[in-house]
Structure 1
Amino acid sequence: ELEIESKSAFYVWSAIISMLFGLFLLLIFSATLIKNEDLFLPFFTITTGILVLIIIQNIFPKEEINKLLTFENKIDTWKLIGWVILLDIFVVLPLHAAFTLIVFPDAEQQEVINLFKESSGISLIILALTVSIFTPFAEEFLFRGFILGMLLKRYSPVISIVISSFIFSIAHEPIARALAFGGGCLYGWIRVKTGSIYPSMIAHALWNSFITFVVIFA
């Protein structure tokens, strides 16, 4: 089993805060550079994923990077991915619906759903690809790769998963935070269980693709 390099709380949180601040600056830069609304989100998302991956490869120990970026294509891995999807659909989603009805009884739809309804043609295709593929790519490298990877250097797996999932949920709209937190815990669990970022990325992409399909065709 891979032994994770231990770091101080100051180091861990300084790295996480610096990363989030840097991405905030990237967001401002992207909004200034990309004026086309259809291209802004995919540009920012893909750029974020690539930059986070580059940072991970330069500050994490080689052994951790090799494990993180190795996908074991075996039946047990796919079973775990299947369990994550099933739990997302039959546990997290119903709990999210109940939470939303209680806490946000008069809430409007998520902004991303409105975007889907307002899009058509090539704009709809770009949005669907961004939500289904590009977003899981970027979010998994950021939240389960970098942030969870950093937290594991200081805290237990359970605490690290909960904290990273909370940060993940804060990055979403208020109405979607319960769903994001639950999903974040599942993706964090499979990332810790396998040591690889790819199972959580695949599960996240399948989940987002499922939601995208429902929103477009329902």
Structure 2
Amino acid sequence: MKKTGDQLDIIVKILILIGMFLLVLLVPTILQIGGAFPNVSWAIYAAAVLFIVVYIGIAYLGWWILKPNLTRPQFTKFTSEEINTVFKTYGLILILNMVFNIVMKMVFHSDATENQNNINALLSSNTVTLIVFGFAGAFIAPFVEEFIFRGIIISYFFKHRAWWLSIILSGVIFSLGHASSNPISFALYATMGMILAYTFKKSGQIKMSIAVHMLNNTVAMILTIVGLLLTK
């Protein structure tokens, strides 16, 4: 029987979180290695397949760790009220992102975060990577990141006290996982992480924050890919 967060030593919980955090940071390296051999087509395809397999494996591992800590069904059918909440939450994230981006452009004369620049560079490397990373970013990353940055963090740390502390912690660690070149871009991702954490904690269902995250990533990926294709 797997242990819940309440049954684990704090050191073990921290090590689990660090391990999952590093896996999320390192998995894009697989695509970068494949792209380092542009004249070897099989290397690019092999890297793409390995990336998807490993990423899905990380998602499964995150769910395996998280599941014992959950006390209610998580992936029930969405109600109309829940769908409405998902779109409202995404709208809030969209507005805040626009505000942060405007301030970042005014202060740092940049309208893109370092994380977005890294994504653009990876998507621009080759067509296979564009398709695979675009798909993974929209449909796999929301599961991976929500299981880790929302589910595990909130279930493992401050679960029974300091209601807002786990939300803040979730946002800060989520932002640490996204490259930030200045305090405003860091605040942007931290705020998004806190909104997703609040959504999960308030609803008690990880499907809610996953749905918001997936909607956000899908729209962002579509706009990014269209923008890259138009500039070629």
Q: Which TM-score applies when normalising by structure 2?
A: 0.74
Give the Å deviation of 1:186: 1.3
Residue 75 (structure 1) aligned to one of 41, 61, 80 = 80
Q: Is the CA contact 1:12–1:154 (under 8 Å) kept in the aligned structure 2?
A: no
2: CA distance, partners of 1:43 / 1:124: 17
Helix, strand or coil at the partner of 1:118: coil
* Deviations 1:79-133 (CA, angstroms, capped at 9, x unpaired): 210111101111233224424652575976520112223332x332211111101
Matched, 1:206 2:215: yes
1: CA distance, partners of 2:50 / 2:126: 14
Q: Where does residue 14 of structure 2 map in the other structure?
A: 16
User: % of aligned pairs identical?
Assistant: 20
Check 1:53–1:100 CA distance in 2 against 1; reply closer, same or farther (3 A cut): farther
Give the Å deviation of 1:187: 0.8
Q: Is the CA contact 2:90–2:212 (under 8 Å) kept in the aligned structure 1?
A: yes
User: Structure 2: where are the runs of 5+ without partners?
Assistant: 35-46, 228-232
Matched, 1:178 2:184: no
Q: Is the CA contact 1:30–1:43 (under 8 Å) kept in the aligned structure 2?
A: no
| Aligned partner letter, 2:53 | F
1: CA distance, partners of 2:226 / 2:29: 30
Q: Is the CA contact 2:27–2:54 (under 8 Å) kept in the aligned structure 1?
A: no
Q: Which moved more, 1:163-172 or 1:151-160?
A: 151-160
1: CA distance, partners of 2:126 / 2:188: 24
Q: Where does residue 39 of structure 2 map in the other structure?
A: none
Matches within 5 A, 1:100-139: 101-102=106-107, 105=110, 110-120=117-127, 122-139=128-145
RMSD after superposition: 3.2
2: CA distance, partners of 1:66 / 1:75: 20
User: Structure 1: where are the runs of 5+ without partners?
Assistant: none
Check 1:73–1:21 CA distance in 2 against 1; reply closer, same or farther (3 A cut): closer
Q: Is the CA contact 2:199–2:208 (under 8 Å) kept in the aligned structure 1?
A: yes
2: CA distance, partners of 1:41 / 1:97: 34
Q: Is the CA contact 1:41–1:130 (under 8 Å) kept in the aligned structure 2?
A: no
Give the Å deviation of 1:151: 2.2
* Deviations 1:23-74 (CA, angstroms, capped at 9, x unpaired): 5379779968x9644345433322211111112234x2xxx2434x243521
Q: Which moved more, 1:147-156 or 1:45-54?
A: 147-156
Q: Is the CA contact 1:71–1:199 (under 8 Å) kept in the aligned structure 2?
A: no
Paired residues, what number? 206
Matched, 1:157 2:155: no
Matched, 1:43 2:53: yes
| Aligned partner letter, 2:14 | I
Helix, strand or coil at the partner of 1:136: helix
Q: Where does residue 146 of structure 2 map in the other structure?
A: 140
Q: Which TM-score applies when normalising by structure 1?
A: 0.78
Q: Is the CA contact 1:23–1:48 (under 8 Å) kept in the aligned structure 2?
A: no
